[in-house]
Structure 1
Amino acid sequence: MQRQKDIIIIGGGAAGFFAAINIAENHSELSVGILERGKEGLQKVKISGGGRCNVTHAEFIPSELVHNYPRGEKELLGPFHTFMTGDTIAWFEERGVELKIEDDGRMFPVTNSSQTIIDCFLNEAKKHNVDVLYNHSVKAISRSENNFSIVTSQGDIECQKLVVATGSNPKIWNLLKSLGHTIVQPVPSLFTFDIKDKRIKDIPGVVAKDAEVKVVGTNLISEGPLLITHVGMSAPAILKLSAFGAIKLNELDYNFKIEVNFIRQEYDGCLENLKKHKLILAKKLVINSAQFNLPKRLWKQLVLASDINETERWADINKQQLEALTLQLTKAVFHVTGKSTFKEEFVTAGGVDLKEVNFKTYESKRIPNLYFAGEVINVDAVTGGFNFQNAWTGAYIVSQSIAKL
């Protein structure tokens, strides 16, 4: 016997639960079900932010917030005026979850545990009679005049309105394509750079707090903390570049060169500063005199890469060595030979073409009563809580639109 629901949400993740709870809370007369393909949902929430769940980001101006979305910047401006960061904070606080702001603007539950967010969702879903159906992998979706029919691994379900909140799921994208939607080919969006270079080989864990990174031969540029890892480079300066350059870097097959300015100074200004240090620190060893607030281990490697040996004092180094050190500090070139993605927190550029979504309602322009929330559409963000904010905003607007049966 085919089961019936007023509303079915495919995807038991952040956007799916948020949409379901908001619908059921305001319209108790509607039957709402979530289809989750696994034995438990909210797994991305569980591992996000290192297990702390980076719920959102403390940016409260819509026109500023949208700049963190390489895909979706223009489209999200209106939705953010409807449901914004402050609304997210209030939503969770009203349900007993207090958030805190960290120095970099990221926001986490004060418990520092993603389980707090998961428990909130599960409790609210139970409270408002949301039927969470685990181990329901979706096999097919068809549309009749008034209903959707969904074939799952646990039988068929019919509903009047359908929300797809599955994130980056190629299988679901293919089903949406078969219904008539255009799918923008997905490519990785957040990833670290694989680099083999003797300058960074032995200093994993070192952070340049304020670096600028450019992709040579393109207009791609970003800034922020840069982390040396066992395989290359990471942290916001790299992750932002990977997000905004997702399509271009894919075209380059993740084989390209970057130019790193470790100190955010122009070449000429840096050279003048080094000349002053040469006079002031004349008797000191260059290798032991880290400047520009650089970590000592990074400074040492850049000095050695400038043909300055471990025994040379500032007074001993010549013009060519000073210029070489200036280049290492402000225009160091590294060869990127690949990428490393966060498999558990995989984010892609790609998904349902934004031209086919009505951003006042998040309803499909092609298929009536079909709605989208989260990364299933071609929206993605830099790291820092922005992808979750997109999920909350889209899911909230869906919940307001979809309840008008």
Structure 2
Amino acid sequence: MRLHVFVKGRLVAHLYRQADDYALRYTADAASDDFVSLTMPVREQAWVWPRDLHPFFRQNLPEGFLLQVIREEFGPYLDGTDLSLLAVIGGSGIGRVTVGSEGGAPGSELDPLDLNSLLHEDITTDHFAELVRYYARAAISGAVPKFLAPESSSAPAPLGKQTLRTSRHIIKGSDEQTPYLGFNEHYSMQVLARLGVARVAKTTMSDDGRVLVVDRFDVDEDGKPALGVEDACSLLGLPPHEKYRPSTEQVLNATKPYIAASSWRQEAEQLGWLLLTNYVVRNADCHSKNIALLYSDIDDVVYTPAYDIVTTEAYPRFANNPPALSVDGRKTWASGKTLERFFNTRLGIAPKRYREMVEALCDSAVSTGKDIVEAARNETRWRWIAKQMLHAWNEGMASLRSAKPQVALKALTPVIEGAGFSDADDADNGRKVIGRSELLANHGKGV
């Protein structure tokens, strides 16, 4: 099997098996700006990766439920290799690179999706699963149910693969393990977004709190792929299933060299805001695939807007999970001076500025927490997830403020008590918390 590789619609390379290895060879007329990956600049010699697809092409391969659906829907077209999987889903995905087979990808034209009905009608888990199954032909990573789809509000265009490539949103749903995940992620993202200090992906929550519509940041105003996206896991040369293995230091070392020195101070804070937000809201799933670079060319590389910020501790099944990325060899929420030292020595953010950032996020968490309480007051089915989130944030804020957090540091306590919320549900210790699940993959405890 031989696949065509396109950058913004222009054929620039071919991808194929070479004995037991995989090879990417640029076309003779490929220009230097036509590079497929930051790690594979244009050259005459083929880029060969042993035994598996190059990490760049694996970064957006589907996981979990979506992968299962694709295998069921397109089984006759799959030969068990990631190359055949890429042939099916590579025509639609995240970033400026698309992939297609020489004979054309299987499947039929797809109906456009009415975002208005998706946002304003109750969408059950089964209904969302049906949507995922129908639109299951997109190169989009992650285990949470999600998909890309053509939208009925888009400018008129032929349906099918071309329309799929002009989708301007990622549609994410909830499952039985993570109820009201749309509500959770939307408000968790707002803790950083409302400060206006960092780039954050825009999100819109459905009326029932189950679905989240995320604006894509890699497309232009017409929804066409315009910017490249590469996550730290790919840049480290790791397969997606090893996304929890790297340390925060390794993620930094893999991404910083591509960012211009003149931009580093601003980009260091962009990364710093993301890291701190995940500690505040207790997101144990900020792994190396959730830190990525965005670029128009080799001289214009920045960190992507923050995305996939979720209060994982809100769900008892995952409440004992530590941070996904270690700092100074440790995975623990009680970071003490370790995180502050990382900011100072690795990001160039002085302790005074670090503490200012922590306090700004804590203030925002309190304000956002009040919004959550108000939302749950108007919609009682959100009370449980609202309660769980606020308790997690309370712990996150206090842990960042002091190695030995005291009651006085838990600034959300009055908000929680005013809402009449009970204590947070205990972690589900009856199940294996650390390990594979619908939301989190294999993931070690702190030391």
* TM norm. shorter chain > 0.5: no
Provide TM-score, normalisation by structure 2.
0.22
Provide TM-score, normalisation by structure 1.
0.24
Q: Which protein is richer in strand relative to its size? A: 1
Higher Rg of the two aligned structures:
1
